[in-house]
Amino acid sequence: MSRGGGGARQRVKTARGRTAASTRWLERQLNDPYVRRAKAEGYRSRAAYKLLELDERFALLKGSRRVIDLGIAPGGWSQVVRRAVPGATVVGIDLLPVDPIDGVTIFELDFMADEAPDRLMEALGGAPDLVLSDMAANTVGHPQTDALRTMALVEAAHAFACDVLAPGGAFVAKVFAGGADATLVAEMKRHFTTVKHAKPPSSRKGSVEWFVIAQGFKGRPA
């Protein structure tokens, strides 16, 4: 997959009221080939390419008829699903408001809320073939705390996936550097045929994010 075009690097002047950190962020956005590609190709964020690249490697979307997108904002992953599998039913959830996406049901709701799983499943109308989680906890600036809070979301998403997935289904979740912890990986291997970690090319080199990909759901015990 192409990494995007070249061109002269753009620099941003530090404006009054803008911090040096925000200036660096803006400069990085302006010079990011994936940001430019996302704008040109109609995706809401560069994160769309992470799912596209994971799908290229793991064939996640082929044959998926029902998909749940946890942490949908701003909607790039659901856009990818809808373009790859136009007939798929897609349901997403996020604490943040998300602009409508054609063919996608979106709940502005905390995934950890008691009513969230039932509302997702009712809207989906059947067992999902794929559960995607791009959720991450709001950072507090302490790396270990941030990692633990995000891992708690991954564990909750995994438990949900194991409750609802159709046999043979897949689960994908964002994790921090080092991947899912050994206990969670062992639990995933009990429920899925294969469990792997990957860092797609579009994930920034300096980012601590990785993704865990669990495929071949074995089904719930009788």
Among 13, 50, 62, 174, the one annotated catalytic: 174
Q: What is the DSSP letter of 114?
A: T
Q: What does the alpha-carbon distance between residue 32 and residue 122 come to, in Å, rounded to a whole number?
A: 39
- Are the C-beta atoms of residues 132 and 94 closer than 8 Å to each other? no
Both tokens assigned to 30? 């302006």
Q: What does the alpha-carbon distance between residue 132 and residue 194 come to, in Å, rounded to a whole number?
A: 16
> 72: which residues sit within 8 A by CB, 6+ positions away?
78, 92, 93, 94, 98, 104, 106, 134
174 given a catalytic annotation:
yes
> 74: which residues sit within 8 A by CB, 6+ positions away?
44, 45, 96, 98, 99
The answer to whether the bond into 74 is cis (omega within 30° of 0) is yes
Stated as kind and residue range, the H or E segment containing 28 is helix 20-30
Both tokens assigned to 77? 């992953």
Q: Which amino acid is at 213?
A: I
Residues classed as catalytic: 174
